[in-house]
């Protein structure tokens, strides 16, 4: 389950930010703002990931702008 969620997130991030997975210089802990994430791209990612923008999930994702943080949040793992 976690690997599937991670793969979905990585694919969406790479598509929206026009990066390759190798650009994650700090692995899954890379701060996505360092790779060009801004508010517009954040909204695009929420759409791509199927996140309800009216829910509390986007606010929780915004607290940790990394692949690892988003996997923990979306896979329901320990935070």
Tens of pLDDT, residue by residue over 13-48, are 999 999 999 999 999 999 999 999 999 999 999 999
DSSP letter for 22, please. G
What are the start-end ranges of the E strands in the chain? Answer: none
**Band of pLDDT at residue 1, cut at 50, 70 and 90:** confident
Q: How many CB atoms lie within 10 A of CB 32?
A: 23
Q: Find, among 65, 62, 77, the residue nearest to 5 by Cα.
A: 77
What is the rounded distance in angstroms from the CA atom of residue 55 to the CA atom of residue 46?
A: 11
- The whole model's pTM is what? 0.91
- Where do the structural domains in the chain lie, given as residue ranges? 2-75
- The CATH code of domain 2-75 reads 1.10.1200
């Amino acid at each position: 389950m976690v690997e599937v969620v991670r793969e979905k997130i990585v694919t969406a991030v790479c598509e929206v930010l026009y990066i390759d997975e190798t650009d994650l210089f700090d692995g899954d802990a890379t701060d996505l703002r360092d790779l060009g994430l801004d508010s517009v791209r954040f909204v695009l990612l929420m759409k791509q990931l199927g996140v309800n923008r009216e829910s509390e999930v986007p606010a929780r994702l915004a607290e940790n702008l990394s692949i690892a943080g988003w996997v923990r949040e979306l896979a329901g793992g320990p935070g």
